[in-house]
Amino acid sequence: MNDSPKNTYMLKSGYDSPYLLIEFKPLEDSEYFLFEIIHMLGLAGFESPEMLNLWMNDKIVVNLTSPNGTVTVSLDVEGILRITGNENQADITRIDKLLQLSKAFLKEEVGSRKYKIE
């Protein structure tokens, strides 16, 4: 991924959930960005056994696996990309660290009261 412009993301708790997720701000070329994220995660050791194109449900869903378990990368019609790993918080933390190390991403801090991060 190139060094500019920076894509903004947040590490926050899910809606009505105690689990952390990664959410990117709405993207202009969201489908291209989805494949770039999948490629980056593939280089970090994640494997993708399948891609479920669920546009009929207004989203694309990709399940990625690692020795820690599964994470799900989803893209909705509004251009919002999310990475979730309900039972795999270790990889959500690892992906957050990978994004912070990359010059292509900017982490936006989230207030704990707004999203109930504990």
Q: pTM value?
A: 0.84
What is the tens place of the pLDDT at every residue in 66-86? Answer: 999 999 999 998 899 999 999
> Is residue 118 included in any domain, yes or no?
no
Residue 32 lies in a domain: yes
Q: In whole angstroms, give the CA distance from residue 64 to residue 67.
A: 11
Domain-located, residue 57: yes
- Could you tell me the CA-to-CA distances from 105 to 52, 67, 97 in Å, in that order? 26, 25, 11
pLDDT of the residue at 116: 46
Q: Rounded CA gap, 80 and 76, in Å?
A: 6
- Cα separation of the two ends of the chain: 32
Look at the chain and report how many structural domains it folds into.
1
Residue 31 inside a domain? The answer is yes
Residue 100 structural domain: 7-108
Residues sharing a CB contact under 8 Å with residue 33, sequence separation 6 or more, in sequence order = 7, 24, 27, 81
Any idea what the CATH number is for the domain that residue 66 is in? 3.30.160
